[in-house]
Amino acid sequence: MSPKSVESYTHDTRVFLLWAQRRKITDLRSLGRDEVVAHITHLRKEGRADTTLRRNLAALRVFSRYLLGEKLIDADFTADISYSASWKRLPKTLSSDEVDRLLSAPDDQTPEGVRDGAMLEILYATGMRVSELVGLKIPQIHLDAGFSIVQGKGDKTRLVPVGDLARDRVREYLETARSALLRGRPSDFVFVTRRGGGMTRQAFWVRLRRWALAAEIERPVSPHMLRHSFATHLLHHGADLRAIQSMLGHADISTTEIYTHIDRDSLRDTLDEHHPRG
């Protein structure tokens, strides 16, 4: 597993053990299905994302099997646990109108505004994760060919098409604002700051919130909402689920299928609104 996965699994396991300890469970052999389900449900009530809950359960599966192999427990306490539908949370998305307002919000009279506009445009156009966006380097962008090479989770790479509007906006940024920000300093990163380094996730998050307020979007907006909006809007317009899976970089189609639930909700709303007996 990647170092980041090891770190995440270790953290999740430690959190679970501390949770169990607070409930006076100090013997590993006392851990069972009920404790795992109660812990995941607790995290769900705290507002943790569906992906975080899945990762926690995966970490506990690995931990349980390790304990079993070391003969520290008598049975795998995660053996009969499946990820319950009641734990799932539908991803939050922006409407097409909200996306249009957000993409138009950055000030194109400043280098930072041109950069931010290009970042928002390509984020929505490709469905990249924010870590993939800020990690983009010049050799990964092929505007004339209309695609980008994305370095995803587990160092897996994938080709993602880039639409005309995003290409034009990124090209404008590369030809004007980027050099103004770098002021002669070298950098491999596509999106840079005035300090000459690459944009960070945290800094981009702050910039995104600023432009969301300027676009008069009242609810909190995150970079991942643009990724969810990308997938949802593609699905609404008839895109193939397998194609969306490939562009998002999901290893398993079941991860992508969450967007079909949103589509069904949309269909149900349409029926309720327009059918005479809806």
Catalytic one of 44, 115, 129, 167 = 129
Residue tagged active-site, from 48, 61, 209, 250: 250
227 is an active site residue = yes
* DSSP-derived 3-state class of residue 261: helix
- Give Cα separations from 163 to 84, 137, 205 (angstroms): 37, 18, 23
- Determine the Cα–Cα distance for residues 44 and 252; give it in Å rounded to an integer: 22
Query: Which of 164, 165, 197, 163 lies closest to 178 in space, CA to CA?
Result: 197
* Three-class SS state of 93: coil
Of the residues 9, 124, 173, 259, only one is catalytic, namely: 259
Residue 250 annotated among the catalytic residues of the structure: yes
- Count the Cβ atoms, other than its own, within 10 Å of residue 219: 9
Separation between Cα atoms, residue 57 and residue 4, nearest integer Å: 17
Active-site option among 55, 153, 158, 236: 153
What distance in Å separates the CA atoms of residue 106 and residue 120, rounded to the nearest whole number? 9
In the annotation, is 259 catalytic? yes
Active site residue 129: yes
Which residue is catalytic, options 178, 227, 228, 233?
227
* Number of Cβ atoms within 10 Å of the Cβ of 269: 11
Q: Active-site residue among 33, 89, 209, 224?
A: 224
The token duo for 13 is 């396991």
Note if 169 is an active site residue. no
Catalytic, 142? Answer: no
Q: Which residues are catalytic?
A: 129, 153, 224, 227, 250, 259
